[in-house]
Every structure is written in C-alpha cells, then in structure tokens.
C-alpha cells in the first residue's frame, strides 16, 4: 500500500486506495521510495509493506519508475516488477481527464519525456503490460497472478 499527501478522489477510501497522509505524518514514515508529483508526495513505506505481508503472501504496490531500483536492490527475489503503460501519452492524458484530474496537474505530470520510457537497465527485471484494452489487460494480469500460486 502506498502513501500520498494528495486529497482523496471521489470513490477512494483511506487505507484501501492509499494511505492518505498529511505532510507531517508522511515525513515520519520509512520509505523504500518516494517522489513528488506536482505539489503532492507519494511513496511506499516499510511499515505498509510489512503490514500487508502479515495479511497476504502476495502484495502489489504502485511505485514510481525510479523507486523500483530500491525494491530490486533491497528485496531481491521477493520482487516481481510489472510495468503497466499505455501506447501513447495522449491515451494516458484522456484517461486522467476522464477520472477527473485537474488539467494543469495532468500537463505537469505528462511534461516528463521519460514518462512512458522503461530504462534499459530495468528491462531485464520488467514484465510489460500495455494497457490499451482493459479487458485484455485484466485477463493478462489474472493469468500472471495465477502463475504465482
């Protein structure tokens, strides 16, 4: 489970969608990785991962591409890196608009040229899913998860 300082969106729930934090509570956690998008912080903590592992033997986290290095280096073979992307930035922009994101925040988020680029040194660790068709992506993900058991 990841943490963020951004406000909850409609339909999100505390402790389910994210751990929604204040800047003060966010800064008290021990992070594998954290990043700032716009004016909000996001990160995944050791505390949340340990809590999740107490409940399940298979845990998924949403991690910034730069953060995956920490997981690979610190957790080694306990990590399976699933890289989900879209074919184009335009497709991602449309999805963000449909879910109600602020257009200025979308522009800020999409301004990075590396957004959909998987670094060469991570390619050996990555399983890539191109999410252009939700049904196909869901089926591929279900098959992948089933293969872990």
Q: What are 44-60's pLDDT values in tens digits? A: 999 989 988 999 988 88
Residue 135 CB neighbour total at 10 angstroms? 7
DSSP annotation of 7: P
The tokens for 65 are 């591409």
Task: Give me the phi and psi of 126, to 5 degrees please.
Answer: -100, 140
The proportion of the chain whose per-residue pLDDT surpasses 90, expressed as a percent, equals 40
Distance CA 87, CA 81 (A): 19
Residue 80, both tokens: 């399976």
What does the pLDDT look like over 115-148, one tens digit per residue?
A: 457 888 998 889 899 999 999 999 999 999 999 8
Q: Give all domains of the chain, ordered by start, each with its CATH number.
A: 1-58 (3.30.63.10), 80-148 (no CATH)
């Amino acid at each position: 489970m990841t943490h963020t300082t951004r406000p909850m969106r409609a339909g999100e729930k505390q402790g389910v969608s994210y751990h929604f934090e204040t800047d003060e509570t966010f800064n008290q956690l021990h992070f594998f990785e954290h990043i700032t998008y716009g004016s909000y912080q996001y990160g995944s903590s050791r505390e949340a991962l340990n809590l999740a592992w107490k409940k399940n033997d298979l845990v998924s986290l949403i991690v910034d591409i730069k953060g995956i290095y920490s997981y690979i280096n610190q957790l080694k073979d306990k990590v399976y890196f699933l890289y989900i992307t879209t074919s184009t930035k335009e497709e991602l922009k449309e999805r963000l608009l449909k879910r109600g994101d602020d257009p200025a925040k979308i522009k800020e988020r999409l301004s990075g040229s590396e957004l959909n680029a998987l670094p060469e040194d991570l390619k050996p660790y990555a399983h890539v899913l191109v999410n252009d068709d939700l049904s196909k992506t869901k089926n591929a993900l279900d098959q992948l998860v089933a293969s872990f058991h």
